[in-house]
Amino acid sequence: MEPVSDHCPVITSLVKSFTSGIRPFKFMNMWLDHPSFDDVLHSVWDTWHGGMAQFSLCSKLKALKTPLKALNRDEFGSIFEKAKEANAAFKEAVQAHMDDPLNETLKLKCHELRERANFLSEAERSFISQKSGGKFLLEGDRCTKHFHSLIKRDNVRNSISHIVKSDGSCTSSPEEVSILLVDFYKELFGSSKEVHPIDEDVVTNGYILSTADCISLVAPVLDIEIREALFDIGNEKAPGPDGFSSAFFKPRWDLVGGDVCRAVREFFVTGVLLKNWNHTILALLPKVTGSPRVSDFRPIGLTNVLYKVITKILSRRLSIFLPKLIDKAQGAFVQGVILWTIYGLHKNLLGATIDQGTLRVVCLCCTSGRHLIRCPGASWKTF
């Protein structure tokens, strides 16, 4: 008698899969060590791009993305497999040379394969370190399995597959999730909030800077200030919407530094900021496990390096005079104290008789930005 079973296979989908879409450009530090990188950079940077200095710099960065993508595809595609194959080929060549130690051809081949294996191994380490945010990575550590697990863990933990709505129901629709996230952060960041008018009679009685302080505050921005601000940004910091980290600018400063300095100085002279510079990616990191609500994410703002340079210069100059402008009883903007609001700074600046050009660039940085959220389905929503 043949056995009879009442079991049958069942395929269950617990989470709706989303298409990954086109991945945004991200500069990879491993490209810097490739012999062809400088040729690619010069081919774009030596080309004239018209317009204002800010626009010209952004045009060069945009034009550079296409050849860099091609370099990545041709030389670094499937980096893990290439590194493994190069290491295996080197070991085979070493074994062959040991069997025939007087063969100069095999000796030269071993040298070439060793160089390639080391290059790809270092590129693999750099790639994994950058993907995992490996700030704790020790020099010489090639624990690729460890960093693979970190990348997989972060991808699962940071993915947004569903959201619990205000009525308690759960939605996994990409359209609904996108609307809920954008509406929440629009409300949180104040674009839809009512603003109480400022009493000018109150703020005009604030602290006043001396004439010498005002002159020092509005002094022309020097190239050394711009360079120090940019080099103060860590190489492993996540890039903004343009995809370029500070690691791109630092080692090739002799070539790109002039364009960067001209663009930044142009902003401080004209008070005009290119819209693309003040775009910010909101990376949403979950604070809880399970079924999250829109308020259960920690927003991390990822801004462009060029915008960071401007804000660093402004903050460094203003920090010198803040003790003269802020009342001792006011907790915000005091070093070592949590910053709760920018209202106090705005109030004090209005009453401090600071040069109007400085006020204009500060307000421009605070009010002209746009935020981008990458929602399920790889769609970008802006507000």
Residue 285: strand pairing partners? 298
Cα separation, 305 vs 349, whole angstroms = 26
pTM (two decimals): 0.76
List the 379-382 sheet strands across, edge first: 297-303, 279-286, 370-375, 379-382
Residue type, 231: F
What pLDDT, on a 0 to 100 scale, did the predictor assign at position 69?
92
Nearest CA to 129 among 119, 120, 139? 139
Chain-wide mean pLDDT for the chain? Answer: 76
What's the pLDDT band for 185 if we cut at 50, 70, 90?
confident
What pLDDT, on a 0 to 100 scale, did the predictor assign at position 305?
92
pLDDT digits (tens, 9 = 90+) for 196-225: 676 666 666 667 777 788 788 888 999 999
- Is 60 exceeded by the pLDDT of residue 323? yes
What pLDDT, on a 0 to 100 scale, did the predictor assign at position 226?
95
pLDDT digits (tens, 9 = 90+) for 218-273: 889 999 999 999 999 988 888 888 999 999 999 999 999 999 999 999 998 888 88
DSSP readout, 235-296?
TTSPP-TT---HHHHTTTHHHHHHHHHHHHHHHHHH----GGGGEEEEEEEESSSSS-BGGG
DSSP state of 26: -
